[in-house]
Amino acid sequence: MLHDELLPQLQKRENRHFSAAGFYDGFTLFILGLAKKVLLADSLAVLVNAEFCNIEALDSLSAWVVIFWYMMELYFDFSGYCDMARGIGRMFGFRLPENFNSPFKASSVREFWRRWHMTLSRFLSQYIYFPLGGSRKGKARQCPNLLAVFLVSGIWHGANWTFVVWGLMHGLAAVFETAFPKLRFRWEWMNRLATAVFVTLSFSVFRSDSLEMAGLLWRKLFAEPGGAMLMGICNTLVYPENRVFIKFLEMKAPELLNGFFLVCFALLSGVSLLLLQGRKAEEWIEKRGHTLLGAFCLATLFVWSFLSLSQVSVFLYFNF
């Protein structure tokens, strides 16, 4: 958040008065962010963390599952953290800027960055891209400027070659889209799919501890097709919510365990994908948050998230 966005809000006297409506909307936003983090991101992280330590054993299908689950984990972790921060701000009368705008609806890499981590994108644009000349001097200058911005973004995330490579991948993609704007698929859904796949592949490098680890993972992704390991990675999905049922199946019907884990995998994947394409938090609050059913759902999410706090992992972006 830029200083000229925050300071005027701090100086306005009307922001210092309590508003019941603003407090409710802020608390609602906080609950939705908490649920994203605790119930989705941390649940996805169980499989992701286990398999990023076991890349050698992955086959092609399971490797793709792992990197897509990491992409969803990162989104729900970071956007949940931002919703919680914005919710707290709203409760005290301040409006923090939106940081995510349905990024997986983007049909290009440049559009993705207009929807993902929007505050960082605006900061880099204002202090690096525009001072370098932006797009004012034609594509011959715009392309190196774009590459410089994304390279700085990669270095900003950490002193590791994986971040540099990640930044260069996005920079080169942005340059390609700028230099060849007409090289797109005819159908918009294909552009969105291609963007999602590219972003997921690039963030698998971002998640890796080293370039060697990223190279091994990519070799697994593009090895011979196989799915024998899928059941193995599904068996990591053990949570406090399903542990009692798992113990019951182990004692009474062990032959049903694999099917149960597959149901858990499908359910978590389906809910995550639906939320990626669904309404933004504020839109849901406006449409459903003030209804009796909406209030019941919010209360359920809050209690469920609160009871699950003992197992919460750290926020991923606290590392950067």
Which residues are catalytically annotated?
157
For residue 2, give the amino acid letter: L
Rounded to whole angstroms, how far apart are CA atoms 208 and 163? 9
Residue-level length of the chain = 320
